[in-house]
Amino acid sequence: MYNQRTSRGPSRSNSRSGATSFGSGARGARPAGRRTPQAGAKKGRFTGAYIDPKMFINKAVAAPLGLEEKVHVVKALFADLAINDQLKQAIIQRGYEHPTDIQAKTIPHILEGRDVIGLANTGTGKTGAFLIPMINKIIADSKQKLLVVVPTRELAIQIQEEFVALVQGLRLQAVVVVGGANIRPQIQRLRSRHNVVIGTPGRLKDLIARKDLKLETFTNVVLDEADRMLDMGFISDVKLLMSLLASPRQTLLFSATLSKEIEALVAQFQTDPVRISIKTQETSAQIDQDIVRVGKDDDKMNILQKLLAQTTFQKILIFTRTKRGAEKLSKLLFQLGFKAESIHGDKSHHQRQRALLQFKNGQVEILVATDVAARGLDIPNVSHVINFDVPASYEDYIHRIGRTGRAGKTGVALTFIE
């Protein structure tokens, strides 16, 4: 267990060390998600289901050198897949030789035209699992159109980036339509030639209402991070979108979990789907999980500052419960001399993308986020995930810490507990 006494380490060079910290206001973290009012919160506010702190503790097991834990299928090769040669070349240029488990097990079924349910932990290559066979299908028949529905704009942009990398020289186009960005440029791009639309449910509905998007021409659909869309209250929007698509169609659903609500969605909109699961455990064995005890008289911000001063803390993702908390914490860390930025729902699309890019390329060493950043985003080389506020559910915890311990590397996840 981490605490104030075990948080020693080399001090980080700090040009703003005289800045003030949270002080007594830093003691507002909710105690392990109990159904009791948070300190300083409005009376009766729901703070999430109780989570036993023991569930946040687990020692990491390093993956064998050069391999991801139970992800790569050594015998499988992209060269062996029945896909377009130019697409194969693009995959090789991306540096990929072996498909991941989810890719090796889903791509052949998708190429056969089957509906698929893919269940896998985050960071297992789900994007490639649906993009590769769908791109191949569009190459073979230029009339094919694909709709990809995702919960967040960040995930939409990430999928577009992967699409662009895979279709070099193939003259295929994808349009991203997401909320929080100017709708007019998106409408203009929809009026140009395109094969793929990637969007969030709310913006897709807006475009349909404006008659700038007609889904009856789309014969393929991917619902990515379906469980997250359910959590965010998009299930009715998703049902509406699905009802407007062409029939027959090919429907692919990817999710980390399969709830009763998603099962109902599957029953309504998929035909005899192939179910593929490569989930071996809830959290990666390559993530070293521990808790940071915050005593009644401890300054939570002071503890965090001491942790971040250690040299092992290199690229850190910190989660808070609220948008206001994320913004406040990132500003305080900046005042303390850390290169910190924030990402949350109150920031514009441009601000969020800039913060993500700065974090990815190393201009920012600490990114403070709400759960909007917890799912789907592929941010390489995150050394630590810190839950400054306890997550509302254990499922949220799993997705938060899934940002570290990726690509065969060991990561660290710390959760502050009062």
pLDDT over 70 for what percent of the chain? 80
| Rounded percentage of the chain residues whose pLDDT exceeds 90 | 52
Domain end marker among 251, 277, 303: 277
In a domain, 256, yes or no: yes
Q: Which of 19-33, 78-92, 242-256, 378-392 has the lowest mean pLDDT?
A: 19-33
171 & 289 share domain: no
Q: Is the pLDDT of residue 287 over 90?
A: no
Question: What was the pLDDT predicted at 196?
Answer: 98
- Residue after which a domain boundary falls, among 221, 242, 277: 277
User: Residue range 228-233: average pLDDT?
Assistant: 84
pLDDT at 68 over 50: no
Domain match, 222 and 198 both? yes
pLDDT of residue 142: 93
According to the model, what pLDDT value does residue 122 have? 66
The reply to whether 72 falls in a domain is no
127: pLDDT strictly greater than 70: yes
CATH number at residue 331: 3.40.50.300
* 410 contacts: CB under 8 Å, gap ≥ 6: 60, 62, 63, 286, 287, 288
Within-domain flag for 73? no
Domain count across the chain: 2
pLDDT number for residue 281:
53
Provide the whole-model pTM.
Answer: 0.65
Express each pLDDT in 316-352 by its tens digit: 999 999 999 999 999 999 999 999 999 988 888 788 8
71 lies in some domain: no
Taking all residues of the chain, what is their mean pLDDT, rounded to a whole number? 81
pLDDT (tens digit, 9 = 90+) per residue, 5-56? Answer: 333 333 343 333 333 222 223 333 333 333 333 333 344 433 455 677 777 7
Return the number of other C-beta atoms located less than 10 Å from residue 33's C-beta: 25
| 69 within domain boundaries | no
Quick one: average pLDDT of 172-199? 95
Residue 401: domain span: 4-64+282-417
